[in-house]
Amino acid sequence: MLVEERRNRLLEMVRLRRFASLPELAEQLNVSESTIRRDLDHLENKGEARRIHGGVLYTGSSPKLPHFDVQQTAEWDKKRAIALAAEKLIENGDTILLDGGSTTYELARLLVGRPLHVVTTSLPTANLLASNPGSDLVLIGGNICPRSGVARGPYADRMLSDVRVRKTIFSVAGIRESGFFNNDLMLVETERAMMRAADEVIVVADSTKFGRQSLTHLCPLGEVQHLVVDDGITPEWQDKVRAAGVDLIVAESEIVT
């Protein structure tokens, strides 16, 4: 592969995923990580990508969501491990509903190419999956949060009332003994509509969210079926989650690639 062709492919991969790790880029392009680093230096000099700890962000001409980019890279290793574990809960042919959380987006990246029916409230997730020939995609409309690109509010809730899915997957801002929390009242109402639309609810949340209370209470712990978290969760929190009747899945950090 010519250098320019490889760099073009690299840029397209980063553009579609918005964030990618060096190991996965090297594997996809069948080159060494040192070659990827040199190519990324070239793209960074052109203002099309920005290298950060753990990988690279797309910074080209598509609409940017700075808040989403920051959230996406925070605790990335934990989110990646959680996404790898959560993917095992999804079967080919499933109809799933995804929110716009950064951990959920990491899961969506792993679902590219799988035969699925995907409903989402997230513009970044829709952009990621729109060109995937293996899946059907439905984008929920509504009031778009300018920081995250997520649809929420009464229009979104109304659309979700007509949707039925096997699994809803979303992330949260905080987890206490009283349940799950998020920091946007409209978002919480929309996530409740997402829960009503599903046979099973899966929460994906990194261990830093435990003991944290955010603006709005979403639901008690026992109202979700599965909680996927990284292995930073304490034994005390593991006991509390399981006591609430939730299937707790602890993702081992060493599986991150």
Give residue-wise pLDDT tens across range 38-67: 998 888 887 778 787 777 877 664 455 554
- Candidate from 71-80, 98-107, 143-152, 230-239 with smallest mean pLDDT: 71-80
Question: Do 6 and 29 contact (CB within 8 A), yes or no?
Answer: yes
| pLDDT score for 170 | 96
pLDDT at position 69, please? 52
pLDDT tens profile 125-154: 898 888 667 789 999 999 998 888 899 999
Using CA atoms, how far apart are residues 113 and 111, in angstroms rounded to an integer? 6
pLDDT given for residue 256 in this prediction: 40
Q: Is the pLDDT of residue 257 over 60?
A: no
Rounded Cα gap, residues 12 and 32, in angstroms: 18
Contact between residue 57 and residue 15 where contact means Cβ atoms under 8 Å apart = no
In the predicted model, is pLDDT for residue 76 greater than 80?
A: no
Domains of the chain: 3-62 (1.10.10.10), 71-255 (3.40.50.10470)
pLDDT per residue as tens digits for the range 184-206: 899 999 999 999 999 999 999 99
pLDDT, residue 255, reads 42
- Please indicate whether residue 83 or residue 253 has the higher confidence score (pLDDT): 83
Distance from chain centroid for Cα 63: 18
Segment 27-37, tens digit of pLDDT: 889 999 999 99
Residues 6+ apart with CB under 8 A from 70: none
Per-residue buried b or exposed e for 100-134, using 16+ beta carbons within 10 Å of the residue's own CB? bbbbbbbbbbebeebebebbbbbbbbbbbbeebee
Beta strands in the chain (DSSP E): 19-20, 49-52, 55-58, 95-98, 117-120, 136-139, 143-144, 151-152, 165-170, 174-176, 179-182, 198-204, 216-219, 226-230, 247-251
d(CA 216, CA 188): 7
d(CA 56, CA 70): 12
What is the percent of the chain where pLDDT is above 70?
90
